[in-house]
Amino acid sequence: MHLDHLHDGPSAVGADARRPDGTRRALRIGLGGPVGSGKTATVAALCRALRDEVALGVVTNDIYTREDAAFLLREAVLPPERIAAVETGACPHTAIRDDISANLEAVEDLEDDTGPLDLVLVESGGDNLTATFSKGLVDAQIFVIDVAGGDDIPRKGGPGVTTADLLVVNKTDLAPYVGSDLARMAADAKAQRAQLPVVFQSLRTEAGVTAVADWVRARLAAWTA
């Protein structure tokens, strides 16, 4: 059991950044956000973009199923042993923020079973705007919203929108069909987040996940520096 996360503080990040043998463990990046915003699609695209450069694994969270892991396995974005699923059985945020033991175990087992990894992506189950990851579980977090969820979401704020290390506004290809004003979303996001970065992306375009992959590369470079 890992109960020390109950007392999260700045020191929680990286406090266990080394394995017992002294080597640096994988950088852990969480992806959270509302149901259906494109978290799994972003994870799949990141795996395709990064898998030839870094050793990476994925942990998915679902409430009652292992659907997201099954999707990633079907799409063969990584070898099967690099994909693990946690069935939370409860609101997703409880397993990524309140009692992270099942997720920590999944992340640690992944590295134990497959050998040292550079990067582990942890996808939360789809939740609401208040869901964020414990700093005892991940080193950085990406919050994924989409334009079809309403262009007032950045203005509404909440910890995901305001504090995530990266805010991704996904499905920009759908903006004309749902009447979402991207300029307004960008202005609201900037007002909520000050200097924190925001990426607008469509996974239906050629650029796809490029900007997010570059952000992950930069985090990895800082982690290993």
Ligand X SMILES: Nc1nc2c(ncn2[C@@H]2O[C@H](COP(=O)(O)OP(=O)(O)OP(=O)(O)O)[C@@H](O)[C@H]2O)c(=O)[nH]1
> Applying CB under 6 A, which residues contact ligand X?
35-41, 68, 126, 170-171, 173-174, 202-204
- Is 68 a binding residue for Mg ion by CB under 5 A? The answer is yes
Three-state DSSP class for 198? strand
Task: Note the residue count of the chain.
Answer: 225
Listed ranges 10-18, 31-39, 76-84, 149-157: which one lies at the site for Mg ion (CB under 5 A): 31-39
Three-state DSSP class for 183? helix
Residue number with CB closer to ligand X (6 or 35): 35
Cα four-point dihedral sign 144, 146, 150, 155: positive
Residue 75: contacted member of ligand X, Mg ion, none (CB under 5 to 8 Å, by partner type): none
One residue of 5, 25, 39, 219 binding Mg ion per CB under 5 A: 39
What number of chain residues touch Mg ion (CB under 5 A)?
Answer: 3
- CA-nearest of 124, 188, 181 to 198 is 188
Residue number with CB closer to Mg ion (32 or 158): 32
- Identify the H or E element spanning 167: strand 166-170
Residue 25: contacted member of ligand X, Mg ion, none (CB under 5 to 8 Å, by partner type): none
Quote the tokens at residue 146.
Answer: 């989409």
Residue 174: contacted member of ligand X, Mg ion, none (CB under 5 to 8 Å, by partner type): ligand X
Cα four-point dihedral sign 11, 17, 21, 22: negative
Residue type, 78: L
Listed ranges 36-44, 95-103, 112-120, 187-195: which one lies at the site for Mg ion (CB under 5 A): 36-44
Quote the tokens at residue 166.
Answer: 């990266």
CA distance 119 to 141: 13
Q: CB 41 → Mg ion: shortest distance, Å?
A: 8
Quote the tokens at residue 212.
Answer: 């997010």
Q: CB 9 → Mg ion: shortest distance, Å?
A: 30
Residue number with CB closer to ligand X (117 or 147): 147
Residue 57: contacted member of Mg ion, ligand X, none (CB under 5 to 8 Å, by partner type): none
- Is 40 a binding residue for Mg ion by CB under 5 A? The answer is yes
- CA-nearest of 182, 136, 127 to 159 is 127
Q: CB 1 → Mg ion: shortest distance, Å?
A: 27
Binding site for Mg ion (CB under 5 A): 39-40, 68
